[in-house]
Amino acid sequence: MRCLRHLRGGILASMVLVQAMAETPLTYYDILARARPTTEQWRMDSRLAEGRSQLQETRGFLREGPTLSLDAGPRRSPGFIRSTDKAVELELPLFLAPKVRSDMERSLGQAHPLMLEAARREAALRIKFGYLEAWQAQRLLALRETDLATVERWLQATQTRAKTAAEPDYQVALVEGERLKAQQELDEARTQVARTWAALVASADLPTTPVPLADPGAIEPIPEDNIETSLRQGPLRAALLAQVELEERSLRLKASQSLSRWSLRGSYSTEYEDRITRLGVAVRLPRPGEAATIRESTDTQIRMLQGEYRQSLAELDARILGVVSRFQKASAVSPVPDFTRAIQEVGQRLEEGKDQPSEAFPIRRQLLEAQMAALKRIQARHAITAEIQYLLP
* pLDDT the model gives residue 17: 46
Mean pLDDT estimate for the chain? 87
**Closest residue by Cα to residue 21 from 217, 216, 210:** 210
Q: What is the pLDDT of residues 207-227, one digit of tens each?
A: 999 999 999 988 888 877 788
Confidence of residue 3 (pLDDT cuts 50, 70, 90): very low
**Domain ranges, ordered by start, for the chain:** 14-62+97-260+290-391
What is the share, in percent, of the chain residues with pLDDT greater than 70? 93
Residue 79: partners with Cβ closer than 8 Å, 6 or more residues away? none
pLDDT at 57 over 60: yes
**pLDDT tens by residue, 157-184:** 888 888 887 778 888 888 899 999 999 9
Range in 235-244, 305-314, 340-349 the model is least confident about = 340-349
Q: What is the CA radius of gyration of the chain?
A: 36
DSSP secondary structure string, 268-296?
EEEETTEEEEEEEEEEPPPPTTHHHHHHH
The amino acid that residue 182 corresponds to is A
CATH fold, domain 14-62+97-260+290-391, is Outer membrane efflux proteins (OEP) (1.20.1600)
On the question of pLDDT at 300 being above 90, the answer is yes
Q: Is the dihedral of CA 145, 148, 152, 158 positive or negative?
A: positive
Dist. CA 277–CA 161, nearest whole Å? 115
- Cα–Cα separations (whole angstroms), residue 312 to 14, 48, 113, 308: 44, 20, 20, 6
pTM of the complete model: 0.83
> In which band, very low, low, confident or very high, does the pLDDT at 286 lie, cut at 50, 70 and 90?
confident
pLDDT exceeds cutoff 60 at 13: no
The pLDDT assigned to 314 comes to 94
pLDDT value for 315: 94
Q: State the Cα–Cα distance between residues 236 and 316, nearest whole angstrom.
A: 8
More confident: 6 or 346:
346
Q: Cα-flanking dihedrals φ and ψ of residue 293, to 5°?
A: -65, -45
pLDDT band at 79 (very low <50, low <70, confident <90, very high): low
With a CB cutoff of 8 Å and minimum separation 6, the contacts of 390 are 121, 122, 124, 125, 236
**81 pLDDT higher than 70:** no
What does the pLDDT average to over 132-141?
96
